[in-house]
Structure 1
């Protein structure tokens, strides 16, 4: 297979792999609510499960290295996802759905990093700066799926969400069959390497500050759909909200990657926290679902900018041979631990005080994080 053809398949796989998130993230909370689960139960299911990625990604990375395959492992993971999803879509027991979603995330979360690894290897050292052009297709896939899924689910019913999900997974399986496997796997993450990174006080402080910023963001990821539903949003508006958020990230990823290197990472993180504070304040006081959907365009200047800053900083803090470890810790802190705390906390606040109060408290949290970040920046600069 030519390298150009390999790139086309990788772009298509990146699009489809993100598409399942464009379906699950906006609409699974609605599906679970339809099945009778409470906000706390939904927050627990969606918030705790991502913590398994802390274990799943290094584990399957090691398996990939040992057996010298990414393609074969991806096929195994996608079929495992289909098998596990039966318990999520056809069971009403909280315990069974909770355990099933943990298993679901265990086999689904490594797919993205494995595709990233294959993309970087296929590009080679000289063309790695073009990785962003592949990553963009993930945002496009998420956005398109979120938009299209809303009207379709409105037509076939939210209870039939599994039909769309299985179609996406089967398309992923079909395209994966055409990939050319790369036998040169990355170095596995070692315990000694983790120890070296964990002793880097500057990096640990940065991860803690990122964690504070990400808790409210992960609350929004889990509870936005329920907030929009409270405001009377249709399934189309729910899909449009996630689509606007995903599309707003594209220009940020494309144009700002190099420019952010000119500024201190703590200064930029403080700016991100300020943008997040304004965003959550707007969400907390606006009572129109349409306006909330419109302000989803702020996702680019909040999360998009945050991820660029966080990823570049993680790379700069650790030596080259430990970059995988540093990035794994960043992912685990922001999406694993941050998702667990944000999901469960957000569900409890929403159930007891309402969604608007939840967003007002989120704004207060990011404001305090902003003060802490700028104070740290000033002290370190001095």
Structure 2
């Protein structure tokens, strides 16, 4: 299979899985009568695995120069672990299986991100034009399964995700061989680049951004349901958001030549805060649809700029490790606080969904206070990088 096609297919199926998990897995948990705090903890098992898994596997793969082998084994174990969801309907079972599934899933993205960056550099490709196939996969899955859930039941998502994971594995076995750039066997595990003020401020802002996504990721579909909207309408809203993200990815190269990465990330945080303010004040469908289009900036533009920024501040032979650090801190620590922390806040303090969205708007705005810490290096040729564990 052509390597360019294999990379696009991987992202299509990888984020297609997210297109089912993110909108509908919380609905499945609610179907089995889990409490908000339990739902938050099950979903937090995902980022908890990110605290150790990406850095450990990516560093090991970089040192052994066996990225493809790790990706292939990870994809197989990811599929096998997910099948256990068919055997449980209880909180403890969901929690244990989600952690196991996430442990193997987290092997994949940093390694393929690094491989894709290298492929784009050596073949003069724009990463955004590969990565937006992941967004297309998310759009297709979220829209299709919204309709299937209305027609069948919420449990149909387990079969659907299993099929997608199998197709993802097939794509991985056709990926191009990836070698470490400027690989040094004697190199130590040096994370000194992470302790620069410019990186620390960036990581704090990214954590706050991920925290603010917590209520949206877990409760948006449930909130839509509580306001009388069908799963099909909810799926359309998710698909619209990621469609806007695709447009952002297509035009990101042009935007990045006119605006600094710092400005683009600030714009993303502003749009994110505005999104949650809208959801905290109205359930009117036109307003929701407008809010969803802002995903182009709150996720698409911010994330591409963030990965390019981290790429600038990471030594060449630690590029996979650098991306893993970003994903671990942002989508690991940030998502744990967002998923579990905000869910506990809702359950024990009785906040409404609208109140939770308002809290998230404030959290997103707090990220702007760390913008003065950001410091860009002179521009170099950087592929529009991979965007982590989101569509």
Alignment TM class, shorter chain as reference: 0.7 to 0.9
Q: CA deviation at 1:122?
A: 4.3
Distance 2:145 2:256 in 1: 35
**How far off is 1:319 after superposition?**
3.7
- Per-residue CA deviation, residues 3-37 of structure 1 (Å, 9 max, x unaligned), is xx222222122211111111111111111110111
1:357 maps onto 2:350 in alignment: no
Give the distance between the partners of 1:176 and 1:15, measured in 2 at CA: 12
Q: Counterpart of 2:198?
A: 202
Moved more, 151-160 or 52-61: 52-61
Deviation at 1:376, TM superposition (A): 5.8
- Pick which of 221-230 and 182-191 moved more: 182-191
User: What is the aligned partner in structure 1 of residue 308 from structure 2?
Assistant: 312
1:49 aligns with 2:46: yes
User: TM-score, normalized by length of structure 1?
Assistant: 0.87
1:17 match: secondary structure = helix
Partner of 2:26: 29
Structure 2 CA distance, aligned partners of 1:13 and 1:366?
Answer: 31
Residues in 1 aligned to 2:8 and 2:221: alpha-carbon distance in whole angstroms = 28
Task: Please list the CA deviations of residues 277-321 of structure 1 after superposition, one character each: whole Å capped at 9, or x if unmatched.
Answer: 211110101123564245211100211121122122222234434
In structure 1, the residue corresponding to 2:283 is in which secondary structure? coil
Query: Does the Cα contact within 8 Å between 2:59 and 2:321 map onto a contact in 1?
Result: no
* Per-residue deviation, 1:145: 0.7
Corresponding residue of 2:386: none
Q: 1:269 to 1:73 in 2, by over 3 A?
A: closer
* Alpha-carbon contact 1:268-1:309 (below 8 Å) kept: yes
Please say if residues 45 and 98 of structure 1, whose CA atoms lie closer than 8 Å, have aligned partners that are also in contact.
yes
Report the equivalent of 1:95: 92
In structure 2, the CA distance between the partners of 1:157 and 1:134, relative to structure 1 (3 Å rule), is same
Say whether the 8 Å CA contact 1:48–1:344 is kept in structure 2.
no
Q: Which residue of 2 aligns with 1:131?
A: 127
What is the CA distance between 1:268 and its match in structure 2?
A: 3.7
Return the structure number with greater helix share.
1
- Cα deviation, residue 258, structure 1: 4.7
In the TM superposition, residue 84 of structure 1 has moved relative to its aligned partner by 1.7
Question: Residue 271 of structure 1 is aligned with which of 260, 267, 284?
Answer: 267
RMSD, aligned α-carbons: 2.7
In 2: Cα distance, 1:12 partner to 1:341 partner = 32
Equivalences, count:
371
Find 2:282's aligned residue among 274, 283, 286. Answer: 286
CA contact (8 A) 2:241 2:296 kept: yes
- Structure-2-length-normalised TM-score: 0.85
Name 1:331's counterpart in structure 2. 327
Q: Which runs of 5+ in 1 are unaligned?
A: 378-382
* Residues 263-288 of structure 1: CA deviation (Å, up to 9, x unaligned): 44444433322222211110101123
Residues 337/374 of structure 1: CA separation in 2 closer, same or farther (3 Å cut): closer
TM-fit CA distance, 1:66: 6.0
Alignment partner of 1:73 is 2:70: yes
